[in-house]
Amino acid sequence: MQSFTKIVLAVVVAATDLVSAAPATSPTAIASRSMSGDLTYYTPGLGACGVYNSEEDAIVALSRELFDPHTPNGNPNLNTYCGRRIKISRGGHSAVVTVRDRCEGCQKDDLDVPVKVFSQLADPNDGRVKMTWDWVS
């Protein structure tokens, strides 16, 4: 029984170390602040979350820097944000989208959406506009 107790304690200590070493870009770390960056649009297909999406879907691609946070051992944790919802705001308009993809060319807080979503916030002829966004609980 004493060996079992030692094993359980070792597991709890290891788990605590992993939680305290969570990256600064974890969902908990950034959920409490508004982000701002560029909004662009793209033609979706098979997204990085493993789901096929169309131009009709209210989805979003996060920057590689946010989408690929690394665990303490250095391995990518690709599904941290898949399925999370984001509210994008610009000029008194907003759209709620679901994370389904990764944007290779985006800076950290930039977002890439299908043209249908982009059209709710800006003229597609603009191509790239400034916006703010927040996680939706």
- State pLDDT tens for residues 84-124: 999 999 999 999 999 999 999 999 999 999 999 999 999 99
pTM above 0.85, yes or no: no
Domain boundaries 25-136, corresponding CATH code? 2.40.40.10
User: Across residues 53-69, what is the average pLDDT?
Assistant: 92
Residue type, 54: S
Contact criterion met (CB below 8 Å) for 111 and 99? no
Query: What would the pLDDT profile of 10-23 be if each residue is shown by its tens digit?
Result: 433 343 333 333 34
Q: What is the DSSP letter of 7?
A: H
The H or E element containing residue 97 is strand 93-103
